Structure 1
Amino acid sequence: MDTPANAHGTTRDIDRWFASYSDDHRNPVNQRIHVIAVPAILWSVIALLWCVPVPENGWFKPGIVAAFAMFGALSYYLRASRRLALGMFVVFAAMGWLTHWLYSTIGARALLGLAIAVFVVAWIAQFIGHKIEGRKPSFLTDLTYLLIGPAWVVAKGYRKLGLTW
Structure 2
Amino acid sequence: MKTAKQWFDEYAVSHQNETNQIIHYICVPAIFFSVIGLFMSIPPTLLKSTFKLYNPLIENWAFVVGIFLTIFFYLRLGFWYFTKMLVVILLAIAANNWINNNTNLLITSIVIFVVAWIGQFYGHKVEGKKPSFIKDLQFLLIGPLWVIEKLTSKQK
TM-score normalised according to structure 1 size: 0.83
Q: Deviations over 1:116-154 (max 9, x none)?
A: 000000000000000000000000010000000001011
1:65 aligned residue: 61
Q: State the percentage of identical aligned residues.
A: 39
1:3 aligned residue: none
Deviation, structure 1 residue 161: 7.8
Q: Deviations over 1:63-97 (max 9, x none)?
A: 52111111121111111011111111121121111
1:111 aligned residue: 105
Partners in 2 of 1:161 and 1:68 — Cα distance? 35
Partners in 2 of 1:29 and 1:63 — Cα distance? 39
Partners in 2 of 1:62 and 1:124 — Cα distance? 33
1:97 and 2:91 equivalent? no
Distance 1:112 1:62, change over 3 A: farther
Partners in 2 of 1:102 and 1:81 — Cα distance? 31
**What 5-or-longer segments of structure 1 have no aligned partner?**
1-11
Deviation, structure 1 residue 54: 1.9
Partners in 1 of 2:74 and 2:59 — Cα distance? 21
1:77 aligned residue: 74
1 or 2 for the larger relative contact order (CA 8 Å, sep ≥6)? 2
1:15 and 2:12 equivalent? no
TM-score normalised according to structure 2 size: 0.87
Contact 1:18–1:152 (Cα < 8 Å) also in 2: yes
Residue in structure 2 matching 1:37, options 27, 33, 38: 27
Residue in structure 2 matching 1:48, options 32, 35, 38: 38
2:144 aligned residue: 150
1:87 aligned residue: 84
**What 5-or-longer segments of structure 2 have no aligned partner?**
49-53
Partners in 1 of 2:58 and 2:84 — Cα distance? 24
Distance 1:161 1:46, change over 3 A: farther
Partners in 2 of 1:21 and 1:101 — Cα distance? 32
